[in-house]
Each structure stands twice: as structure tokens, then as C-alpha cells.
Amino acid sequence: MTASARPAKPSVGRASLFYLVFVMYSYTTGGCFGLEEQVTNSGPGMTLLYHLFVPFFWCIPISLVAAELTTAMPVQGGFYRWVRAAFGDGWGFLAGWWNWTASFLLGSAYAVLFTDYLGFYFPQITGWKHYLVSIALVAVITWINIRGIQMVGRVSTALEIFVLAPILVMSVIGLAKWKHNPFVPLIPPHRPVFQVFGVGLALGLWLYSGYEQLSTVAEEIENPRRNYPLALACVVPISMVTYFLPTSTALAALGNWQDWHASYFSTAAQLIGGP
């Protein structure tokens, strides 16, 4: 085929990269939610240190590997195809199977976390109602994913703006009400070492996971060799700020690290900024 007869490559629009950043951010971070029990298990100081240093030893290396391999093999299936090409069909199958299984568990965990936060506004959501809301959320998100990555991008963008706007306001008000050192105490007194450096670190690793996942839809991304690495370069620092800023400002304003529990950010926002 001559050069003149080759089909023109689709132009790389900013919207495709923009949507990719939001989809990747939604999958890997999605907000500061879920880290509250890290504060009580590891202590406020150690929690903040985890969010400053874990990315450099965990998510940044993984994101660089994902960017390199996506550039080399921008194929549908992503990491499953990489493992299959390197180690054969057996390990490729296991990589896909393990990820598929983990996705069910993670999806269920996120649905329960969402319903826990919703319970702050609607305390009557308990028992079977809690299960029903969680299942309904899984069904809605599944339908959105079936519609394709463009639909996922649009919905993710809208939801993230809706979610992050009040978090940003809370952080600004928290800065204005700074009264305590958020790094004190570094670790909780009389807390078992396993909880400080085991449970807390495990939560940190979980919060900074998933940067390779969107490689599975590389063929649905415009110019993945360019856009996937750029999206990673944007998402990793945004994730760090998302976890560190609201946690540190809430601790600095309130100083009540012992009270942090699952879905506590809603309570913190109410104490800092009012109902």
C-alpha cells in the first residue's frame, strides 16, 4: 500500500485525553474516601507519611511500567496480553482470572462504602435496605460500563466534579481553621505494631493500586501510545493530593484522630463547615 492510499490516523483530541484522565482517576482514586480507618490504625502522622512516600515506591513504578508496556503493546486486554506474551497462555489466563475475581470483590467493597456514606444523610438505610442500595449501585455502574468507555468517561467526569467540589471546599475551610499539628502523634500509643505497619500500610497500597487497569481497553483509547502515559503523569500526582490534602487539613482543624472511622469524612466536613 502506498503512503497516499493509507487511511489517515484519527486526530488526537483533547477530550479523549481528558476523559481518560477522569476514568483512570475514578478507577484508581475516586476521592479521599476509604482511608479513614488508616488514621486510627496507623496514627495521623504515619498516615500522612504513607501518602507522601508510598506513591514513590509503589504506584509511580507501576505506572511507569504500565506506560512503557502500553506504548509497546497498545492492545485490547492490556496487562493480560502482556503476561500472556511473556510467560505463556497459562500465566496469562491466571492474570486475567485473578483480576476478574478481584474486580467482583472490589466492586462490592466500593458499593458498600458508597452506601455507608449515603447512610450519613439517610440513617434509615440499614439491614436489607443497605444491601438493596449496594446491589442497585453495582447494577447501574455495570450498565454504564457496558455502554463503552465514552459513556464511562462522561459519567466519571460529572461524578468526580460533583464529589471533589465539596472536598475542595472542606480543605480550604480546614486550612483557615488550622489549630493542630496533623502529624501528631506519629503513631497511636499502645497500638500493636501489626496495625501501625501492617493494616495501615496495606490500606495505603490498596489506595494507590489500579494504574495498569485501563490498559485493558487500550484499543478504545485514541492514540494510546501518547495519551496513556500522559494520563498516568496527570493522575498519580492528583491522587497524592487527593489523599493528603483533605486528610491533613481535617486533622489540623479538628485534631480528633481517635474518632476517625469508616465514612468519617462526612462527619469531618460537617464539623468543619457546618451542615
Would you state the pLDDT for residue 213?
80
Would you state the pLDDT for residue 117?
87
The answer to whether residue 129 sits within a structural domain is yes
Q: Cβ(188)–Cβ(196) under 8 Å?
A: yes
- 3 state DSSP class of 76: strand
Would you state the pLDDT for residue 6?
40
Closest among 83, 101, 241 to 164, alpha carbons compared: 241
Q: pLDDT tens track of the chain, all 275 residues?
A: 443 444 333 333 344 777 778 778 887 888 888 889 899 989 999 999 999 999 888 888 888 888 888 888 888 888 889 999 999 999 999 998 998 888 888 888 888 988 988 988 898 998 999 999 999 999 998 898 888 777 877 887 888 888 889 999 999 999 999 999 999 999 998 888 887 888 888 888 888 888 888 787 777 777 777 888 888 888 889 999 999 999 999 999 999 999 998 889 999 999 999 88
Going by the DSSP 8-state scheme, the letter that residue 213 receives in this structure is G
The answer to whether residue 5 sits within a structural domain is no
Whole-angstrom Cα distance, residue 56 to residue 174? 27
- 3 state DSSP class of 217: strand
Q: Cβ(78)–Cβ(228) under 8 Å?
A: no
**Domain count for the chain:** 1
Angstrom CA distances, 154 to 15, 150, 161, 192, 237, stand at: 10, 6, 11, 44, 22
The answer to whether residue 4 sits within a structural domain is no
The answer to whether residue 159 sits within a structural domain is yes
Whole-angstrom Cα distance, residue 25 to residue 76? 20
| Dihedral sign of CA atoms 109, 20, 221, 28 in order | negative
The answer to whether residue 232 sits within a structural domain is yes
- 3 state DSSP class of 12: coil
The answer to whether residue 3 sits within a structural domain is no
What pTM was estimated for this model as a whole? Answer: 0.81
Q: Which domain covers residue 175, as residue numbers? A: 14-273
The answer to whether residue 207 sits within a structural domain is yes
